[in-house]
Amino acid sequence: DIQMTQSPSSLSASVGDSVTITCRASQNILKFLHWYQVTPGKAPKLLVYTTSNLQTGVPPRFSGSGSGTQYTLTVNSLQPEDFATYYCQQSYSTPITFGGGTRVEVK
């Protein structure tokens, strides 16, 4: 199985800050990497698919990049609604696996 390691596990930031979350795969996943936002009480939301493609309706302050085993999600100019937990997910092979999550908290 492919292991997905996210870092940091949590971070503190203020509205207007930029943050970057990293996801490392245990093997090359050929950009089959997706990012989700989870907010308490709401269904998880797909933000970015296949490394860098923004899902319809997601604001352009979110962006993804990476290749091989290293991938990043960047959120520019954090908004109040962006304080949430973010997960990466690989779909290079089954079983599909998620990272452990990164909680973005208010500083």
* C-beta closer to another protein: residue 14 or 43: 43
Output the DSSP codes for 16-40: T--EEEEEEESS--TT-EEEEEE-T
Q: For the window 59-98, what string marks contact with another protein as x by the rule CB under 8 A? A: ----------------------------x-x-xxxxxxxx
Q: Is 5 helix (H, G, I), strand (E, B) or coil?
A: strand
Q: Does 54 bind another protein (CB under 8 A)?
A: no
| Contact yes or no for 76/18 (Cβ under 8 A) | yes
Q: Which residues bind another protein (CB under 8 A)?
A: 1, 32, 34, 36, 38, 43-46, 49-50, 55, 87, 89, 91-101
